[in-house]
């Protein structure tokens, strides 16, 4: 085998693995996070008010997405209600204004527990 064929094979293999990893995210059962609600802006994590969930492990999740989906959660975010969000995409880990990590993620659904 010459180097051109080996390089082409390697490129095809890498591409197949990256497509497979993306498909694995999409094919998995809906990924959700559950946690207590608060305001990411008021808690000093990000600039501006937004819905934030703190899960059982203490991880902070800033929820982004369509305003109609977020509106019911946004209205009660200060009450410390338990919420479950269905993720639309993989989360991105970022540094907050307080220097600690948080995860920002787009969501496609939020359920507020009463």
pLDDT per residue over 45-76, tens digit each? 999 999 999 999 999 999 999 999 999 999 99
Per-residue pLDDT band for 30 (boundaries 50, 70, 90) equals: confident
pLDDT at 12 over 80: no
Q: b/e for 75-87, b at 16 or more Cβ within 10 A?
A: eebeeeeebebeb
Separation of alpha carbons 86 and 66, rounded Å: 13
pTM for the model: 0.73
Separation of alpha carbons 62 and 52, rounded Å: 5
Given this model, what pLDDT does residue 103 score? 97
Q: Which residue has the tokens 């095809």?
A: 12
pLDDT at 29 over 80: no
Q: Which residue has the tokens 């207590």?
A: 36
From the list 24, 43, 30, the residue with the least C-alpha distance to 105 is 30
């Amino acid at each position: 085998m010459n180097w051109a064929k080996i390089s082409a094979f390697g490129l095809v293999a890498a591409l197949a693995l990256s497509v497979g990893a993306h498909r694995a995210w999409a094919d998995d059962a809906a990924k959700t996070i559950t946690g207590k609600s608060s305001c990411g802006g008021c808690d000093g994590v990000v600039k501006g008010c937004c819905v934030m969930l703190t899960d059982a492990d203490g991880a902070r999740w800033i929820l982004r997405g369509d305003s109609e989906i977020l509106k019911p959660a946004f209205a009660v975010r200060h009450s410390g209600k338990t919420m479950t969000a269905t993720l639309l995409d993989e989360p991105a880990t970022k540094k907050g204004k307080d220097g600690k990590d948080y995860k920002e993620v787009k969501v496609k659904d939020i359920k507020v527990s009463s």
